[in-house]
Amino acid sequence: MTFADFNPVALLEQMLRIPSVSGHESEVARFLVEHMRAVGLHSYVDDAGNAVGQVGEGPEIVLLGHIDTVPGVVPVRIDDGKLYGRGSVDAKGPFATFVAAAARLLARGELRARLVLVGAVEEEAASSKGAHYVVDRYAPIACVIGEPSGWDRLTLGYKGRLLVEGRWEQPMAHSAGRDVAVAERAVGFWNAVAARCAAHNEGKAQLFEQLLPSLRAIASGSDGLADWAALTIGIRLPPGVDPDALKQALSGAGFGGQLHFRGGCPAYRGDKNNPLVRAFLKGVRAAGGTPGFLLKTGTSDMNVVGPAWRCPILAYGPGDSSLDHTPEEHVDVAEYLRAIEVLERALRQLVAEVAK
């Protein structure tokens, strides 16, 4: 395949046909390396399993997306101008946008920077393995995170996260007895977490500023001699809430259970007065849109690389994030193509500005 044969819609459709649940991204990574190499990028799979493409000389700009998905099969098809498939929005679509824009800039001789494209692994897992691997390997002047924002919106920040897994066990007792049931202990812990978050949220109208707990799983059982209960809680953290401090606070409210914490990361919010944002604003306007800004209540690899790189950063990509992880996940093909145009314009504008 050469650039003359390059079809961005076909590229994304083929990516969607390759399953890549977190931890099993090797096939789609090899596919992307082959296609990035075919359009002129130096491409390889790094030691973390990321699909990497590099091209150009000059200021280093990292385009960091993720190529893993959550489980669940969404049949791949194009219907009424919409491309369906797991990852079409979150986030193979945004990464395909990166590949297409880089290929166009290279083919037109308009590349005046060093672009590093990273299709990261395990973003959907709490590990963010791919992002953690690259954080010490690049020092970009700017970074674009590949996540759905809509073609005319820019995401400036993501909330942090803390996952809590609790387990309670005790000797079996008659339900008419006075002992507190093990399932009630688990529910008591959940209620304590929810109450703590509610107290923090008093007077805070914006979701981005709130502690948002969710009960992700709960189960209980007995072997006839011992009863047990277990639950998993996810907490989305606003700016100013340190995951380690929250761990410490919650550890004393376990109601006699064993608590395990993982996936802790603080919130991150980028600045909107910098060359990267200005370049995207111009790109959106030039493509006929009215740009706007978003702050997301989820997390992304921005939470990993933003604090380390301390460069202008935002998240961008086609798609409606309300479709993430759903059975109806799809991206509008026209929006996808428009996002490629915006990114191409923004990268040209960014390089022109930093080269002044």
Residue type, 136: D
The active-site residue out of 13, 25, 60, 68 is 68
C-alpha torsion angle, residues 139, 144, 146, 148 (rounded to 10): 150
Active site residue 184: no
Q: Are strands 60-66 and 51-55 parallel, antiparallel or unpaired?
A: unpaired
The active-site residue out of 122, 123, 301, 335 is 123
**Region at 181 (left for phi over 0; alpha for psi -120 to 50; beta for the rest):** beta
Active site residue 324: no
Nearest to 280 by CA among 77, 259, 272: 272
Is the separation of the CB atoms in 115 and 102 below 8 Å? Answer: yes
Is the separation of the CB atoms in 271 and 331 below 8 Å? Answer: no
| Enzyme catalytic residues | 68, 123
